[in-house]
Amino acid sequence: MPNGIWNKDTYLMDVPEPDRKRAAMTHDMLKDLKNQLSSIDEKVDKIRKEQPKECAELMDNKITLNNKVRRKINIGQGGGAGAIILAIGEGIRALLK
Q: Structural domain boundaries of the chain?
A: 2-96
Q: Please report which confidence band the pLDDT of residue 1 belongs to, taking 50, 70 and 90 as the band edges.
A: very low
For 22-47, what is each residue's pLDDT tens digit?
Answer: 777 777 777 777 777 777 778 888 88
For 42-85, what is each residue's pLDDT tens digit?
Answer: 888 888 888 788 788 888 888 888 877 766 655 555 666 777 78
pTM, two decimal places: 0.30
CA angle 80, 84, 86 (to 5 degrees): 115
Q: Is 4 left (phi over 0), alpha (psi -120 to 50) or beta?
A: left
Strands (E), 1-97: none
